A = this chain, B = another copy of it.
Amino acid sequence: MTTSLLTDLYELTMLEASLQSGVSSRGSSFEVFTRSLPAGRRYGVVAGIARVVEAISNFKFNEDDLEYLETTKHLNKETLKYLSNFRFSGNIWSYEEGEAYFPYSPIMRVEAPFAEAILLETIVLSILNFDSAVASAGARMVSAAGTRRVVEMGSRRTHEYAAIAAARAAFIVGFAATSNLKAGQIYGIPTAGTVAHAFMMAHDDERAAFTAQILAQGPATTVLVDTYNIENAIKEVISIAGTSLGAIRIDSGDPAKESRTARALLDILGATKTQIVISGDLDEFSINELSHEPIDGFGVGTRLVTGSGAPTANFVYKIVAIDKGHGLEPVTKLSAAKVTLGGRKFPWRVLDSNGKAVMEYLESIGSPETSVEIPELETKKLRPLQRQIIRDGEPELKTQLKDIRIFHQDSLNELDESARDLASGQSSLDTVLRDSRGHLIKASN
């Protein structure tokens, strides 16, 4: 399927007007960034880059697409002809997936003729805003869980395709598995899941249900023990499965109290290795509150896929430079409160001698290929943050999800310990821009 109609109409009417004025062929540079993190958050996590690359590869207008556009009467024949031959030919750089980001981090830079760059706005933002919102929430949940396993099970609480992207974003930030089979099929993410209360209630009694599950799935399975009475259920299931039962899941009640009672009972019954999994409206805060309880794993759904209060990353896609005949020159919107810092920005993470991040540094001078000399920062190490993902329209990205998971942990480990605090706080790093006159400007909120 083509992705070209996953787009706002105004990208096409702008294209048409720019073909009219000739601005369509001007070189341009657009950046993706957010002006602020969600309230109280200390960092965000980039996700969706590989999905953007794939969407751009399929950003073509087929006959059905063109036929539909013709029926809207919004566009003239010249524009439709341009679209029929459309293929993105520009260059795109981005932060790596899994990388931490901060206010004004330019997580993506698109450079192409204006007509091409403007067409990509909606699809780029849709993907990055959703995937990064989930990754940013998920990273805090994984931090809160510490060494305990966290499983993504939110498919039912978001759009059926968004669910697949959510599972992918969660896996990037360290979730162990997903309940979503399509995510397993497409991305090779491990899948997990056991039974719902309906299964228990459809049987004559709990004993019949446990017996069926253990015969089908083996004793290593996870059984659901809170349909009627948790203690009775634990005794029943251990009598059937024996002490090699994999895990029990508790989905209701007070998880702190229930997990302690269950652990004591399992131990008395000799099932000392049977794990306890908790689910039911968990988020980073409730996971954190349960950190000293005898819980081995968490199933997280609703609050993950809805970004734990921040369901979109609020990224914008803004023009920062245009070639009016003398090469790419900065552009800046003057009116109103929404300030856009004009000009192309090449981002670096400044690290101290211990390898800890101390600043998000944006350089307006030079290009990512040239080395940067910053007198103010001379004793610091600089790690470049963007790499090219599309060159002359062709994808350059070959990262594996398992490598992204490792990269994500490395990126978080660079941050000060306090970045992992769940309590409301400021952005963990200040973002500082050296503008084209060489002045340093603190850009973060």
Interface residues of A (CB under 8 A from B): 3, 5-14, 16-21, 23, 26, 28, 30, 55, 64-65, 68-69, 72, 74, 76, 114, 118, 121-123, 125-127, 129-131, 153, 155-165, 179-182, 184-185, 191-199, 201-204, 208-209, 211-213, 215-217, 221, 226-230, 252-253, 302, 305-307, 311-312, 314, 317-319, 322, 324, 331-338
- Residue on B with the closest CB to A214? B17
Inter-chain contacts of A14 with B (CB < 8 A): 195-196, 198-199
Inter-chain contacts of A130 with B (CB < 8 A): 158-160, 162
CB contact between A72 and one of B23, B191, B213 (< 8 Å): that residue: B191
CB contact between A9 and one of B72, B162, B191 (< 8 Å): that residue: B191
Tell whether A181 pairs with B7 under 8 Å between CB atoms, given A156-B122, A158-B129, A322-B201.
Answer: yes
Inter-chain contacts of A311 with B (CB < 8 A): 158, 306-307, 311
User: Do B319 and A202 touch (CB < 8 A)?
Assistant: yes
- Residue on B with the closest CB to A3? B160
User: Do B161 and A161 touch (CB < 8 A)?
Assistant: yes
User: Do B209 and A21 touch (CB < 8 A)?
Assistant: yes
CB contact between A5 and one of B123, B181, B228, B230 (< 8 Å): that residue: B181
User: Do B194 and A10 touch (CB < 8 A)?
Assistant: yes
Chain B's nearest CB lies how many Å from the CB of A151?
10
User: Do B195 and A17 touch (CB < 8 A)?
Assistant: yes
Residue picked from A217, A228, A324, most chain B C-beta under 10 Å = A217
Q: How far is the CA of A6 from the CA of B163 in the complex (A)?
A: 8
Q: How far is the CA of A125 from the CA of B155 in the complex (A)?
A: 8
User: Do A306 and B302 touch (CB < 8 A)?
Assistant: no
Inter-chain contacts of A9 with B (CB < 8 A): 179-181, 184, 191-193
Chain B's nearest CB lies how many Å from the CB of A217?
6
User: Do A161 and B162 touch (CB < 8 A)?
Assistant: yes
CB contact between A306 and one of B12, B221, B312, B318 (< 8 Å): that residue: B312
Chain B's nearest CB lies how many Å from the CB of A250?
9
User: Do B17 and A212 touch (CB < 8 A)?
Assistant: yes
User: Do A195 and B165 touch (CB < 8 A)?
Assistant: no
User: Do A13 and B153 touch (CB < 8 A)?
Assistant: no
User: Do A23 and B162 touch (CB < 8 A)?
Assistant: no
Q: How far is the CA of A125 from the CA of B262 in the complex (A)?
A: 31
User: Do A194 and B13 touch (CB < 8 A)?
Assistant: yes
What are 29 A-B pairs with beta-carbon distances under 8 A? A5-B182, A8-B179, A9-B191, A9-B192, A10-B194, A12-B181, A14-B199, A16-B216, A17-B195, A17-B199, A17-B216, A20-B216, A28-B202, A72-B181, A74-B191, A118-B198, A122-B155, A122-B179, A125-B156, A125-B157, A129-B156, A131-B159, A159-B159, A197-B333, A202-B322, A202-B331, A226-B336, A227-B334, A227-B335
